[in-house]
Amino acid sequence: MRAVQGEGPSAGQRCAFVRLGGCNLSCRWCDTPYTWDWTGVGDSGVAYDPKRELRPMPWTDVLRALLGFEVPLIVVSGGEPLSQQRRLLPLLRALTDAGHKVEIETNGTVVPQDDLVALGVRFNVSPKLSHSGDPQARRIVPDALRAFAAVPGTAFKFVCRTTNDLDEVALLVDRYGTRPVWIMPEGQVPAEVGQHLSALGDEVVARGWNLTTRLHVAVWGDRRGV
């Protein structure tokens, strides 16, 4: 789908999204539960049907569709894309060969393969904090975080609600070198995003970190397909 990147260092840029299904985490506030929540464990309590939500496609068909959008940036999201990174390689190689910039949104729990890193894609890594509802052993994988921290151009994006969450971010930064830091307010409708953004802004600036809103929520709310 064609839209704009709503978060992080490329916010506002025209792009096309590739959204994959399946995730190894179960964040209660996830804004794309239809990509993985088949049992209704999320805040909405809705159990989605993978037969309705997911559609297998040859990577060559995906490539043809993406090239047809004529945008400079391709964002691969999920779910958790790196659970399928080997399958992604031919598509991403073709996109970079065609001159596209590629960003991968990942939760930072899967070590990226060397072949993927060599393509020069940007990893937007979003390690999950305790308010996600997942146990720390599932959501924080030290080897993966250190691997991402060693890749040039990686951005680390943390979803936060209150300034107390920033202390948790600081521990991860100190322990695993997850820099540069982007703090993003949690929220699926503009009012929630605005409330958390206001609560976080001063402290984020004081810590010397970057602040990002959720542009797509400000424009389209919680509508799917954007």
Does the reported pTM lie above 0.85? yes
Q: Tell whether 21 is in a known binding site.
A: no
Domain range list for the chain: 2-220
Q: What is the pLDDT of residue 168?
A: 98
In CATH, the number for domain 2-220 is 3.20.20.70
Q: What is the pLDDT of residue 225?
A: 65
Q: Tell whether 38 is in a known binding site.
A: no
Give the dihedral sign, CA 23/27/32/37: positive
- Dist CA 17 CA 66 (whole Å): 8
Per-residue pLDDT of 47-99, as tens digits, reads 999 999 999 999 999 999 999 999 999 999 999 999 999 999 999 999 999 99
Give per-residue burial for 181-207: e unless 16+ CB within 10 Å, then b.
Answer: bbbbbbbbebebbbebbeebeebbeee
- Dist CA 34 CA 46 (whole Å): 9
> Which residue positions in the chain have pLDDT lower than 50?
none
Q: Tell whether 32 is in a known binding site.
A: yes
- Dist CA 78 CA 104 (whole Å): 9
Q: Tell whether 23 is in a known binding site.
A: yes
